[in-house]
Amino acid sequence: MKFIPDKDILLFKSCLVNVEYPGVESSTCYIFDRIDVDYYVDEKQSCCTGLGHYYDLFDQISTTALAARNFHLAAETGHKNIAVMCATCYAILKKSAKILNQNEEARNKVNQILDDSNLENREYTQGDMDPTLNIFHVAEIFFNKRDEISSLVKVDLSGLRVATHHACHYCKVHYNDTIEGVRDPNLIDKLAKAVGVETIGWYDHKSVTCGAGFRQRFTNKEASLAVTAEKLQALKDNKVDLLLHMCPNCQMQFDRYQPYIEEKLDTEFNIFHLNISQFIALALGADPYKILGIQTHTVPIEPLLKRLNYSLESNEKIDVEAKKSPN
């Protein structure tokens, strides 16, 4: 298996984690702090362009030039290893690193763009970033330290019926780098096991996309949500309580749209959605509102916590209504 680092890590910010599920970032930091992962968050790091890239709005050279800038930021602060929370960041950064290493013409073009932008000190040299040895999903970092995670578990989650949704842009784009299965992915099943939860394992549709399809959710909504609905039905048929995610875009597709699909199809799925970082943090005893950030979810997580006899201190719940800006 490939070497997975636990130090010199740039925790790469994701646009959808930022504003949709920021609890994924705080949960990741919570876990990293407890398993001695040395990481850094850089406020100067730009977004990977992922959504724009797959809307076909961004051209490859622009995406690659921004990646080169971010790779340089990682190196200059001594954090040459990048760990992402979003599967699309993972795919985009690996693709950009491959282009920069393998395509001399593109590399020269990117360096010219950086020169023209007065960033000649940020020029990319072939081999600066190894797509396989320097770019990871945080789930891989957890997997490498799963024994340490196991030793820290405080909350028993074993009563839940759990399934996993492995993000396509982690498993299927650079599949030679994927660990724990591509067609039958088990990376987050094994992470659940590390915190004492046996998942249902394989199910029909396990490796199928969330259905977001980037433009499809907006321009082809019926087809997009039909894919999501089929997967939700397969999960319901398996009596699943909770689906674990590893990508904020997948999480949005399921969590934000599940109630909408339920209404359209006049059915109930009643499936909770958590990112694997949130799930592990929960098992380690993290606060649902101050660390997991469940207040940004559309499908409420409170009923799940109640089932676990989790004491919800209502005074700690962030009252969104009361926090509305005065205007």
Partner 1 sequence: MKTIKLKKESVQLVKDVLKDIKASPDLGIYKCVQCGMCTSVCPGARQTDYDPRDMIRRVLEDDETVIDDDNIWNCFSCYTCNSVCPCGNNASEINQILRQMSIDKGEGMKKIVSFTAYGDSFMELGVGSIPSNFFDVMVKDIGPGYMDLKINIEDIRTDLGLGSYILPEKAIDEVESILDNSGFKDRLKKIKRCK
Size of the site for partner 1 (CB under 8 A): 88
Helices 276-283 and 23-34 cross at an angle (nearest 10°) of 50
Site for partner 1, residues 263 to 282, rule: CB under 8 A: none
Closest distance of CB 177 from partner 1, Å:
12
Distance between CA atoms of 236 and 242, rounded to whole angstroms? 10
- Region binding partner 1 by CB under 8 A among candidate stretches 11-19, 144-152, 195-203, 238-246: 11-19
Phi, psi at residue 258, to the nearest 5°? -55, -50
**Contact between 171 and partner 1 per CB under 8 A:** yes
Q: Which helix (H) or strand (E) holds 111?
A: helix 104-116
Contacts with 326 (C-beta within 8 Å, 6 or more apart), sequence order:
none
| 223 near partner 1, rule: CB under 8 A | yes
Interactions with partner 1, residue window 122-161 (CB under 8 A): none
**Residue 18 binds partner 1 (CB under 8 A):** yes
Between 55 and 202, CB nearer to partner 1: 55
Choose one: 36-44, 127-135, 148-156, 271-279; the region binding partner 1 (CB under 8 A). Answer: 36-44
Is 209 a residue that touches partner 1 (CB under 8 A)? yes
Cβ pair 185, 246 in contact under 8 A: no
Instruction: Single out the residue of 34, 46, 60, 63 nearest to residue 10, CA to CA.
Output: 46
Closer residue to partner 1 (CB): 33 or 156: 33
Q: How far is CA 99 from CA 60, 95, 107, 124, 186, in A?
A: 9, 6, 7, 11, 29
> Is there binding between residue 259 and partner 1 (CB under 8 A)?
yes
Q: Is 314 in the site for partner 1 (CB under 8 A)?
A: no
CB of 181 to partner 1, least distance (A): 11
Measured distance CA(39)–CA(126) in Å, rounded: 25
Yes or no: say if 166 and 231 are a contact pair by the CB < 8 Å rule. Answer: no
Q: How far is the CB of 92 from partner 1 (least distance, A)?
A: 11
**Using the rule CB under 8 A, is 182 a contact of partner 1?**
yes
Question: Minimum Å distance from CB 196 to partner 1?
Answer: 25
Looking at beta carbons only, is 65 or 157 nearer to partner 1? Answer: 65
DSSP label of 314: G
Pick the closest to residue 261 from 301, 232, 239 (CA basis).
232
Hey, which residues between 41 and 80 contact partner 1 (CB under 8 A)?
41, 43-52, 54-62, 64-66, 69
**Least separation in angstroms between CB 152 and partner 1:** 19
What distance in Å separates the CA atoms of residue 104 and residue 126, rounded to the nearest whole number?
Answer: 8
Return the SS3 of 273: strand
According to the binding rule CB under 8 A, does residue 39 interact with partner 1? no
* Partner residues linked to 244 by β-bridges: 164, 274
Q: How far is the CB of 161 from partner 1 (least distance, A)?
A: 25
315 binds partner 1 (CB under 8 A): no
Minimal distance in Å, beta carbon 307 to partner 1? 22
Min dist. Cβ of residue 198 to partner 1 (A) = 26
Max CA separation in the chain (angstroms): 60
Q: Contact between 248 and partner 1 (CB under 8 A)?
A: no
Collapsed DSSP state (helix, strand, coil) of residue 260: helix
Q: Exactly one of 146, 161, 193, 215 binds partner 1 (CB under 8 A); which one? A: 215
